[in-house]
């Protein structure tokens, strides 16, 4: 059933930006009433995917339970924000609940629009096409790297 609550600071998104902002604000003012709206149980350290692609990290080390990265004292609202009503200082969640705030910080990350490049989505992870910008593909980058030989087309092209 939809509920209503209110906080001094509301942060949408518990990624690197949302978590770091909350931690930094609490360090300066520990009594602040901060809520983070974040639906995911898992926090991903995305820059670590570069190391997965380079064969240095296993993919799993880049993931942490969200509960472990939430700064102490933050109220974690496990839900997704669905709409904003800035005229009422209010965010509405997907279940219809409303959260009021004095200060709103919006940090939901980006959506990578793979579909904007024709043919990309269906070939990612196949035929030597990869991206470290997706958790599940970063290991394929490393597979591709180790399968290269000095005589491979790629290396010959770089050497030219």
Ligand X SMILES: Cc1cc2nc3c(=O)[nH]c(=O)nc-3n(C[C@H](O)[C@H](O)[C@H](O)COP(=O)(O)OP(=O)(O)OC[C@H]3O[C@@H](n4cnc5c(N)ncnc54)[C@H](O)[C@@H]3O)c2cc1C
Of 74 and 81, the one with the shorter C-beta distance to ligand X is 81
Nearest residue to ligand X, using CB?
A: 15
Interface with ligand X, residue 101, by CB under 6 A: no
| Residue 132 lies near ligand X (rule: CB under 6 A) | yes
Q: Rule CB under 6 A: is residue 107 a binding residue for ligand X? A: yes
Q: How far apart are CA 135 and CA 104, in angstroms?
A: 29
Residue 46 CB, shortest distance to ligand X, in Å, is 3
Draw the binding track, 12-41, toward ligand X (x: CB under 6 A; -: no contact): xxxxxxx------------------xxxx-
Report the residue from 84, 105, 133, 144 that binds ligand X according to the rule CB under 6 A: 133
Cβ-based burial of 6 (10 A; exposed 0-12, middle 13-18, buried ≥19): middle
**SS3 category, 86:** helix
Kindly indicate which of the ranges 9-17, 57-65, 95-103, 145-153 contains the residues binding ligand X, using the contact rule CB under 6 A: 9-17
Q: DSSP labels for 59-118?
A: GGGGEEEHHHHSPTT-EEE-S-EEEEEGGGTEEEETTS-EEEEEEEEE-------GGGST
Rg (CA), the chain: 20
Which residues of this chain interact with ligand X, rule CB under 6 A? Answer: 12-18, 37-40, 46-47, 49-50, 80-81, 107-109, 132-133
């Amino acid at each position: 059933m939809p509920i209503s609550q209110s906080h001094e600071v509301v942060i949408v998104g518990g990624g690197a930006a949302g978590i770091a902002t909350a931690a930094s604000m609490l360090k300066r003012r520990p009594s602040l009433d901060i809520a983070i709206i974040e639906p995911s149980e898992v926090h991903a350290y995305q820059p670590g995917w570069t190391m997965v692609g380079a064969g240095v990290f296993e993919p799993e080390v880049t993931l942490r339970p969200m509960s472990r990265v939430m700064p102490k004292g933050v109220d974690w609202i496990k839900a997704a924000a669905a709409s904003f009503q800035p005229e009422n200082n209010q965010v509405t969640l997907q279940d219809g609940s409303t959260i009021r705030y004095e200060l709103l910080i919006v940090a939901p990350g980006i959506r990578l629009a793979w579909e904007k490049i024709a043919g990309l989505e269906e070939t990612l992870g196949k035929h030597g096409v990869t991206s470290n910008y997706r958790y599940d593909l970063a290991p394929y980058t490393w597979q591709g790297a180790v399968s290269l030989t000095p005589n491979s087309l790629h290396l010959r092209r770089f050497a030219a």
